[in-house]
Structure 1
Amino acid sequence: MSTMAAHMEWQTLTNKALTGEIITVEEGMAVLEADNEEVMPLLQAAFQVRKHYYGKKVKLNMIINAKSGLCPEDCGYCSQSIVSTAPVRTYTMLDKDSLLAGAREAMARKAGTYCIVASGKGPTDKELDQVVNAVSEIRETMPLKICACLGILKDEQAERLAKAGVHRYNHNLNTSKANYPSITTTHTYEQRIDTVEKVKLHGMSPCSGVVIGMGETNQEIVEMAYALRRLDADSIPINFLNAIPGTPLEHAGRTSSMKALKVLALFRFICPSKEIRVAGGREVNLRSLQPLALFAANSLFVGDYLTTAGQDVSADHQMIEDLGFEIEINAL
């Protein structure tokens, strides 16, 4: 642990976040290197920032795996990639009725945002047609916000999605620029940045986040938070690697629960006004400390993820109620 971590006054970071001053690399490192006994004071400092911008409200999101497997990309963390031998279901893009049924399920789970996610490098014209037709009907019939995550976009594709009524587009940076080549080689970090910029250009809200636990250093985690601040991502999903047998990263160790909490606090300090979402892997990394995550984060996924199971939705609702927080419906 650094000397700075040993003597850090966490309130200093709260004050900086609330006045628009960015914390230094050294301060960010101090958060990640803090003793575990500092986690509660650290979360209290982060909660002051979270409460300033979001009160005690929690935004819920639900994913539908709209197209599974069949992916030519070699992302080392993903069970759907071409290099994975994990036994996952494979199917082409779901039809409109299936996507509409998913939207109704999202409403039943009290999710305000419905996330349509498809594997692959980017959508074909036919796949985009299917998504656009479903989104148009969802927007006409249900009070849901729509997030799409379909891979790398062309300008005309981004324009079509925006016109159809997609509110938000997700394209994660996943890891640091320096670590990126060790995670995937079939596309570049710069292509991901470019897609997020396209999303912004066409008026959709940018959503971009990370996966913690893929061999990155603490300094790279700080750099990832800075990168998302520069990108001005409105929503930042923080995934914690769920190492799936059959993937290149199957032997990666889990992120400790305390480290995960420090990461969430770090992102709250560096991106204070943004939606920080506890995303994939929270159940297996945070384990019994999941409720504490919401003192830094203000959003989470309910239900299952793409190929892994999530916590029962009733447990998530109960967790929020037990904290004295409340679900924010139809918020983006």
Structure 2
Amino acid sequence: MGAQGGESAEMKFLREQFAQVHAKLDSISLQLDDVKRLIEWRTTRVMYANYETFIIAASSILNNYVAAPESSREVLKRQFIAAFQHNPLAPLKLYQAIVEKNFVIAENLAAAVVHYTQNHRRHVINFLLAMQRLIMRGAQLEIAYEKMVHGDGAGNVAKTVWDGRMQKLLSRMKQLETDVTNRYHSQMTSDIGRVILDNRHLSNKDFSGHMYRFLADKFDRRYWIALSYKDVSGGDKHWVSYCGGDARFRTHGGRNVVVASSNPGSSRFTRAKGNAALDAAQRVGSGSHAESWTNLIRSKIGNSCSDAAFVGSICWGCDVWFTMRSDRYVYRKMSNRGDINTVVFG
């Protein structure tokens, strides 16, 4: 009772800081290692990895100090002060490596992770969250050091400075997420060429599933459809109307590939609307010409990407395979002077 009642102002301050920081850290998911393996640390300066090692080691000493009995604290305090003085700018350098925009890629961790993950939003965010956690731990070290060495006022000043920096860091992280998300189309068009080339050996069925899983994982803020079928040509055999995607005809492996995507926030598509459009088109009929069927169905569902992100008609017997979420599409075999596959997705 007497020992707790006599707890120093310094220890009270540090315990409060630990409680605040640890509460924040608990809310941050750590996926640093998976993404860090993608980054060429030699290129982005191995010193950043050294900063991480330093912060973790110094944090361990500080944790021991806070948890230690009074009799052991002075020794641990000296150890912590000496350790922090070896690299006092590490937290600031890590912060600058994320927030500063005018660094070259070799010095800018934010630019590096975007570059090496090729705009993979989830990997970028997981890495930034992990760096946020590391910087918060580094800030905790600096605040504790200032408190121990220069007193209450210096500790409070350091805390105020780091509160402001953490707000800027959060803003920068949100901006990076927005930037990466907005690059989905240019990155997607680059990626699908590689996916097609690397999977020439797959059947159309397997390729459709593989392409869909790739897109749905990497660009996970959108709904996707991936189609693969024989490398036919001509509007009588196939005709597609698509948004947020790309089409590659007569590709490596002798196939046609079409991908499309919709924005969950603006899509008006429902399966009921899709089926109603197919019903209306079927009542009119359009022979066996793919272009005519696609244009007819599009006129019934609506011309906006929000109405449908994909409307396609592809010849019967052309080994057509498509993969998407089961609640985001309708399909029908149309028969009117010939059979044809029709798909609507949104």
Shorter-chain TM-score tier: under 0.3
Give the TM-score normalised by structure 2.
0.20
More helix by share: 2
Question: Scaled by the length of structure 1, what TM-score is found?
Answer: 0.21
| Structure with the greater alpha carbon radius of gyration | 2
Q: Which has the higher contact order (CA 8 A, sep 6+)?
A: 1
